C-alpha cells in the first residue's frame, strides 16, 4: 500500500497535485486546517481529488501529528502548508514563523516519535528566498544589491542604478530573502535538508515562482496579483500599477507546477536537488495588467506611485538546471494561461 501525505493539500497547488497523482497511490492523506483566509467555507474544496482523505488539522499541533502518524506511515510527504502572504509576513511575523518554521519542525518531530520516516519529503519552497537576487553592473561584475531601503523606495529609485537583473537559479544564487515569508521558506529548506540527511530520508526542494491559474483563492487579498487585477478590471476600475509597473515576474501555470511536483515525488533522480520551477519568462506587471484590462474593456492601468516593503524589483527563474535534471518543462504560455484563469474567474464570480 503506497501512501502520500500532503500538508496544505486542500490549497491551490495541493488540489491540482491530487488530481494528477490520484492513481499513483493507494492512499492520499491531506493534513490541512482549511485556513479561513484561503477557504471561504470549512467544506472539502471541490477541486480536491475524491480519492484524497482530508484530515482537518493544524501543522503546528503536535497532538494532531501524533494521531495522524500513528495511523498512517506515509511513503512520500509533500509539504505545502504555509502562511504565504509576503507583505502580511512583515506585520504578522510570529504567525508566519509559527506555521512555516515550527509547523515544519512539529511534523518532523512527530515522524521521529511515531517512527514514521517517509522515503522522501518534497518541499514547495519559493523564489522569495532569493530576495532581490543577483545583478550585473555596467562593468560586467555580478553582485548582490540586497534589500532596497525605505529611502530608495520613497525616492522612486526602483532599480539598482546602472545594473541589470540576472534570472535566479539555485546552483548560482546565494539566498537573500527580503521578507519574513522568504526567511521562513529558507528556514524550511534548511530544516528539511539537514533533518533528512540525518535520518537517511530523501528530499527534493522546489523553488516556485508566481503560480497562477484556476483554483487560486479569490478571497485571499494577500496573494494572487492576477486575480486581484481581474476583479478590478471586471468592475471597470483602473488597475493601479505599483512602482513604475515594470517589475518582472515569472508566472508559471498551475498545471505545469502540479506536473513538476508529481514528477519530483515519484522520480528519484531529483533527490537532494533544489530545482527552480518557473516559466523562465519574465513578464512585466504592466504587461499583465494591460492584458487583463483589454480583455474586460477596463480603462488603461495607471502608475499609482505606491510601493510595498518586502517586494522585490524583479523575479524570473533560470530553469536550465531544472530542465537538465528532470523530465519536465513548462508548456502553458502566458496568453493561454491567462485566458484559462480569466474564464475560470468569470465562471466563479458569475455564480
Which are the catalytic amino acids? 181
What is the nearest approach in angstroms of ligand NAD to the Cβ of residue 42? 10
Closest distance of CB 327 from ligand NAD, Å: 21
122-135: burial string, b at 16+ Cβ within 10 Å, e else? bbbbbbbbbbbbbb
Interface residues toward ligand NAD, by CB under 6 A? 8, 10-14, 32-35, 38-39, 58-60, 80-84, 99, 103, 124, 126, 185, 208, 210-211, 217
- With cell 484590462, the residue in question is 293
Closer Cβ to ligand NAD, 185 or 259, answer by number: 185
Pick 57 or 298: Cβ nearer ligand NAD: 57
Closest by alpha carbon to 55, among 40, 39, 38, 72? 72
Q: Which is nearer to ligand NAD, 159 or 270 (CB)?
A: 270
DSSP-derived letter for residue 44 is P
User: In the complex, what is the shortest distance from the CB of residue 182 to ligand NAD, in angstroms, rounded to a whole number?
Assistant: 10
- In angstroms, rounded to a whole number, what is the distance separating the alpha carbons of residues 245 and 248? 9
Closer residue to ligand NAD, CB minimum distance, 71 or 300: 71
- What Rg, from alpha-carbon coordinates, does the chain have? 20
**Residue whose Cβ sits closest to ligand NAD:** 11
Least separation in angstroms between CB 60 and ligand NAD:
5
Amino acid at each position: 500500500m503506497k501512501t502520500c501525505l500532503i500538508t496544505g493539500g486542500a490549497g491551490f497547488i495541493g488540489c491540482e497535485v491530487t488530481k494528477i497523482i490520484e492513481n499513483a497511490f493507494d492512499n492520499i492523506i491531506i493534513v490541512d486546517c482549511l485556513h479561513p483566509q484561503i477557504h471561504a467555507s470549512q467544506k472539502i474544496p471541490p477541486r480536491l481529488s475524491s480519492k484524497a482523505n482530508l484530515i482537518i488539522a493544524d501543522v503546528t499541533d503536535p497532538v494532531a501529528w501524533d494521531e495522524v502518524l500513528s495511523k498512517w506511515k506515509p511513503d512520500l510527504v509533500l509539504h505545502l502548508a504555509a502562511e504565504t502572504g509576503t507583505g502580511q509576513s512583515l506585520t504578522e511575523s510570529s504567525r508566519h514563523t509559527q506555521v512555516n518554521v515550527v509547523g515544519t519542525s512539529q511534523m518532523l518531530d512527530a515522524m521521529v516519535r511515531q517512527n514514521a520516516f517517509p522515503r522522501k519529503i518534497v518541499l514547495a519552497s519559493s523564489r522569495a528566498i532569493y530576495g532581490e537576487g543577483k545583478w550585473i553592473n555596467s562593468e560586467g561584475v555580478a553582485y548582490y544589491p540586497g534589500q532596497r531601503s525605505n529611502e530608495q523606495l520613497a525616492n522612486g529609485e526602483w532599480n539598482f542604478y546602472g545594473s541589470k537583473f540576472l534570472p535566479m537559479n539555485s546552483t548560482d544564487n546565494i539566498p537573500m530573502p527580503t521578507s519574513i515569508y522568504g526567511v521562513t521558506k529558507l528556514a524550511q529548506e534548511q530544516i528539511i535538508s539537514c533533518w533528512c540527511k540525518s535520518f537517511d530520508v530523501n528530499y527534493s526542494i522546489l523553488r516556485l515562482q508566481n503560480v497562477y491559474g484556476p483554483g487560486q483563492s479569490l478571497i485571499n487579498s494577500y496573494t494572487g496579483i492576477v486575480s486581484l487585477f481581474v476583479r478590478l478590471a471586471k468592475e471597470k476600475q483602473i488597475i493601479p500599477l505599483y512602482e513604475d509597473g515594470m517589475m518582472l515576474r515569472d508566472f508559471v501555470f498551475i498545471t505545469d507546477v502540479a506536473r513538476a511536483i508529481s514528477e519530483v515525488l515519484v522520480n528519484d533522480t531529483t533527490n537532494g536537488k533544489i530545482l527552480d520551477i518557473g516559466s523562465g519568462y519574465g513578464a512585466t506587471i504592466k504587461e499583465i495588467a494591460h492584458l487583463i484590462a483589454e480583455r474586460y474593456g477596463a480603462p488603461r492601468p495607471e502608475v499609482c506611485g505606491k510601493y510595498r516593503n518586502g517586494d522585490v524589483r524583479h523575479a524570473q527563474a533560470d530553469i536550465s538546471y531544472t530542465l537538465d535534471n528532470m523530465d519536465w518543462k513548462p508548456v502553458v504560455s502566458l496568453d493561454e494561461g491567462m485566458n484559462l484563469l480569466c474564464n475560470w474567474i468569470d465562471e466563479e464570480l458569475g455564480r
